[in-house]
Amino acid sequence: MMADKRLTYASSGVRLESNTQFVNAIQAAMHSTYGPRVCSRNGGFAGLFRLDYDEQLFRRNYRRPLLVGCADGAGTKVLLAKQTGRLDTIGIDLVAMNVNDLITCGAEPLFFLDYLAIGTLDPAAMVTVVEGIAAGCKQADCALLGGETAEMPDLYRPGEFDLAGFSLGVVELHKAIDGRRISPGDAIIGLPSNGVHSNGYSLVRKVIAKRKLKLSAEIDELGETLSDALMRPTRIYVRPILQLLRAYKVKRVVTGMAHITGGGLPENVARALPPDCDAVLHRKRWTPPPVFSYLQRLGIAHAEMMRVFNMGIGFVVFVRPTFAEAAIRRLRRAGENPVRIGRVKRGSGQVTIK
Amino acid sequence: MMADKRLTYASSGVRLESNTQFVNAIQAAMHSTYGPRVCSRNGGFAGLFRLDYDEQLFRRNYRRPLLVGCADGAGTKVLLAKQTGRLDTIGIDLVAMNVNDLITCGAEPLFFLDYLAIGTLDPAAMVTVVEGIAAGCKQADCALLGGETAEMPDLYRPGEFDLAGFSLGVVELHKAIDGRRISPGDAIIGLPSNGVHSNGYSLVRKVIAKRKLKLSAEIDELGETLSDALMRPTRIYVRPILQLLRAYKVKRVVTGMAHITGGGLPENVARALPPDCDAVLHRKRWTPPPVFSYLQRLGIAHAEMMRVFNMGIGFVVFVRPTFAEAAIRRLRRAGENPVRIGRVKRGSGQVTIK
């Protein structure tokens, strides 16, 4: 399992050999995410996870289990994390990028594995990163089952690192959501983002460099520093979405979902649509966090903004029209602030934002 | 799913927008690995895989499924791949590093997801890499279900790339192998490696640079060029190992397994051992490929060689002594060249190589 794996790999870096603290800290972070389904195995090569609970009461959770896998990286937000020294939450971004994709099929996240590649290992810094990953896993109610830390000084510059991850989920076959049931009339409900999340950071960093912005400066318009606004970790939508899905055991009220990442609302909502439906969104229905108008005024065209950023909506749920109000109430009870942002109509897979 | 994901991410790199060829080529490589359990889903955010076959005959393959997850990277062999231009097989190395870990628990690999991070995308080169990953998946009888291609020019130098992956497998709970059943007297059977595989390349590259070796030079001692010897893809042990395990439906003949990676035989065999057993290996029983004596003569201490490289044994199987000969015959019939390299004795988790 990861901890052992890390130890093994660590031994190729001289400084690490004595650093059992690093391995112990990572092991503690991993164990903090373990539920009863994780089978711990000392000295192993892989992470083991029981699909069914062992208790008679819960056994056979899945009659026809469909496994769902996602791979994604944290993107160039890692460079901003290094620059600002904010290493504690970039792991939450990483988990979010993966599990928010996973739940679009209605899947329950089971476990996560990370890949952390670095130039030269600063053990304390990397423990902070892994603790962030564990924090993200807890928000997503999944186990950090393993991972790999690779020290590659010839590939990564000193202090720089890359972060990728893989999440595995499961959904009962007949409950899997794939967007094919989206129909004209369906309500489109948006769940707010809390800022830029983890996409568009190459553009963000370009603007910062061009305008010579100071990350630590307090920005009146934002009510916080630029670092605070830009490093805020991506929201994880696992709990409200699974609560919504579990509320309807027989009726299939949710017809589709989209995680709003690179490509923005237009591209990601389109990915969820069947070929004979259009989505019409009304952007007056929600107020994007101030960071977006701030970035736009620094010189990004509005069309580019829409295409690169989530613009305030991080996740989208398609719901049968007669259940829209009930779904919104349920999402509110789950702590969300859902907004009815649009409607599905007959069409050809297009997304219109009015 | 991956292809769509790649398209989405690709759109942040200007040159890529028109390059549907890249996406199509990757999609073709992925589809070539699909079996009947992959649920294709257009426009999706995740890859879907059915745990059970749909046919009545095969249904409920698993009564108490234990999911097994592994994450690993190709390591700095990617730098040598770039240097030699041998991009077609580094994907096989990547898959091998993961699935050879996975099968140590007795798990059947189900699917694989890759993470490919690059400075500036050269579509043709990266299609070659992904085709190698697909080739590795076919050798491992698993599906290339998805992945992520991230273009990050500020993190990776032009032409450089990193490659990581994640494999998911399944094993029936009561058939999972975790080394706890290894007992004194068990035979230790080694399966040959075909060279350096994917570990120790930082050391290999250091020696090459120090000795100013020409990678394209034909080396008499090796009977091939240094590139040929060093870029040979890692062997994938999935088929012979699963054939061996499936031959014993009731008896539990295999008590433990180890994939020999960084740390060499001493460290990896030790990882499989229970705390009350030692392993005694006899290194005269097999002949390492000539690349190892060649590297050693370039100035690597023997102890360092043992600690970094597989030294000719890529995978190790622990077998109940009365079944050792039968297991060796079965492995031979599966096309392997197994060697009885040692024996388990009472002890304290130590590995001795005589």
| CA distance readout (Å), B323 to A317, B177, B247, B251, B313 | 57, 17, 12, 10, 21
Provide the b/e sequence for A58-89 (b: ≥16 CB within 10 Å).
eeeebebbbbbbbbbbbbbbbbbbbebebbeb
Give residues with Cβ within 8 angstroms of A8, minimum separation 6.
B261, B262, B263, B267, B268, B271
Give SS3 for B122: coil
Count other C-beta atoms under 10 Å from residue A354's C-beta. 9
Residue type (1 letter), B20: T
**Residue B44 or A211, more confident:** A211
The verdict on B142 and B248 lying in the same domain is no
Q: Percent of chain A having pLDDT more than 90?
A: 75
Does residue B181 fall inside a structural domain? no
Give residues with Cβ within 8 angstroms of B298, minimum separation 6.
B207, B211, B213
Question: Does the pLDDT of residue A39 top 70, yes or no?
Answer: yes
Chain A CB contacts of B145 under 8 Å are 69
Chain B CB contacts of A119 under 8 Å are none
Query: Residue for token digits 């993200």?
Result: A136
Mean pLDDT (whole number) for B323-340: 97
The verdict on A255 and A291 lying in the same domain is yes
The verdict on A170 and A227 lying in the same domain is no
- The helix (run of H) or strand (run of E) holding residue B172 is strand B161-172
A56 — pLDDT class (breaks 50, 70, 90): low
Mean pLDDT (whole number) for A281-292: 97
Best B48, B97, B306, B308 residue to mutate vs chain A (most A CBs within 10 Å): B48
Q: CA-CA distance, A21 to A19, in Å (whole number)?
A: 5
* pLDDT single digits (tens) A117-140: 999 888 889 999 999 999 999 999
The verdict on B37 and B166 lying in the same domain is yes
Q: CA-CA distance, A344 to A183, in Å (whole number)?
A: 7
Could you say which of A119, A145, A175 is where a domain stops?
A175
Could you say which of B143, B175, B207 is where a domain stops?
B175
Q: CA-CA distance, B89 to B121, in Å (whole number)?
A: 18
Whether B288 and B341 have beta carbons less than 8 Å apart is answered as: no
* pLDDT single digits (tens) B167-191: 999 999 889 998 889 999 999 999 9
Chain A CB contacts of B107 under 8 Å are 46
Does residue B100 fall inside a structural domain? yes
Nearest CA in chain A to B9: A262
**pLDDT score for B55:** 58
Query: Residue for token digits 């895989």?
Result: B49
Residue type (1 letter), B265: L
**pLDDT score for A115:** 96
Question: Does the pLDDT of residue A20 top 90, yes or no?
Answer: no
Contact flag A113-B178 (C-beta cutoff 8 Å): no
Does residue B6 fall inside a structural domain? no
What is the torsion angle, in degrees rounded to the nearest 10, for the CA atoms of residue A192, residue A316, residue A73 and residue A288?
-30
Whether B242 and B103 have beta carbons less than 8 Å apart is answered as: yes
Mean pLDDT (whole number) for B117-131: 91
The verdict on B194 and B318 lying in the same domain is yes
Contact flag A43-B150 (C-beta cutoff 8 Å): no
The verdict on B67 and B126 lying in the same domain is yes
Question: Does the pLDDT of residue B94 top 50, yes or no?
Answer: yes
Q: Is B114 on the interface with A (CB under 8 A)?
A: yes
Picking from A4, A105, A154, the nearest residue to B46 by CB comes out as: A105
The verdict on B16 and B164 lying in the same domain is yes
- Domain limits at B211? 187-353
**Residue A48 or A288, more confident:** A288
Give residues with Cβ within 8 angstroms of A28, minimum separation 6.
none
Does residue B252 fall inside a structural domain? yes
* pLDDT single digits (tens) B156-173: 998 899 999 999 999 998
The verdict on B98 and B68 lying in the same domain is yes
* DSSP summary character for residue A348: S
Picking from B70, B262, B271, the nearest residue to A146 by CB comes out as: B70
Does residue A4 fall inside a structural domain? no
Chain A CB contacts of B155 under 8 Å are 76, 78-79, 156, 160, 162
* pLDDT single digits (tens) B242-271: 999 999 978 889 999 999 999 999 999 999
Read off the tokens for A135.
């924090």
Could you say which of B175, B201, B229 is where a domain stops?
B175
| CA distance readout (Å), B279 to A41, A47, B186, B204 | 20, 24, 9, 28
Picking from B147, B170, B261, the nearest residue to A71 by CB comes out as: B147
B41 — pLDDT class (breaks 50, 70, 90): low
B64 — pLDDT class (breaks 50, 70, 90): confident
Chain B CB contacts of A258 under 8 Å are 45
Q: CA-CA distance, A97 to A238, in Å (whole number)?
A: 11
Q: Is B176 on the interface with A (CB under 8 A)?
A: yes
| Range 183-202 of A in CB contact (< 8 A) with B | 202
Residue type (1 letter), A302: H
The verdict on B100 and B25 lying in the same domain is yes
A53 — pLDDT class (breaks 50, 70, 90): low
The whole-chain average pLDDT of chain A stands at 90
Instruction: Work out the minimum CA distance from B226 to partner chain A, whole angstroms.
Output: 20
Q: Is B173 on the interface with A (CB under 8 A)?
A: yes
Q: Is B179 on the interface with A (CB under 8 A)?
A: yes
The verdict on B239 and B343 lying in the same domain is yes
Residue type (1 letter), A78: V
Does residue A335 fall inside a structural domain? yes
Nearest CA in chain B to A78: B155
Contact flag A179-B9 (C-beta cutoff 8 Å): no
CATH number of the domain that residue A229 is part of = 3.90.650.10
Chain B CB contacts of A174 under 8 Å are none
The verdict on B265 and B294 lying in the same domain is yes
Q: What share of chain B is helix, strand, coil (3-state, %, to 5)?
A: 40, 25, 40
**DSSP assignment of A159-196, as one string?**
T-EEEEEEEEEEEEGGG---STT--TT-EEEEEE--SS
Query: pTM value?
Result: 0.93
CATH number of the domain that residue A122 is part of = 3.30.1330.10
Whether A325 and A166 have beta carbons less than 8 Å apart is answered as: no
B23 — pLDDT class (breaks 50, 70, 90): confident
Whether A173 and A131 have beta carbons less than 8 Å apart is answered as: no
Does residue A7 fall inside a structural domain? no
Q: Is A108 on the interface with B (CB under 8 A)?
A: no
Q: Where are the alpha helices (DSSP H) in chain A?
A: 2-10, 20-31, 77-84, 90-102, 123-139, 201-210, 226-231, 238-247, 264-272, 290-297, 302-308, 324-333
Question: Does the pLDDT of residue B2 top 60, yes or no?
Answer: no
Q: CA-CA distance, B173 to A179, in Å (whole number)?
A: 34
**pLDDT score for A41:** 60
B56 — pLDDT class (breaks 50, 70, 90): low
Nearest CA in chain B to A42: B271
The verdict on B92 and B236 lying in the same domain is no
Q: CA-CA distance, A213 to A192, in Å (whole number)?
A: 27
Q: CA-CA distance, A146 to B166, in Å (whole number)?
A: 10
Instruction: Work out the minimum CA distance from A72 to partner chain B, whole angstroms.
Output: 6
Q: Is A52 on the interface with B (CB under 8 A)?
A: yes
Looking from the CA of A138 toward its CB, the CA atoms found within 13 Å total 12
Picking from A47, A51, A71, the nearest residue to B115 by CB comes out as: A71
Number of domains in chain A: 2
Whether A266 and A305 have beta carbons less than 8 Å apart is answered as: no
Beta strands A277-281 and A351-353, pairing class: parallel
Does residue A275 fall inside a structural domain? yes
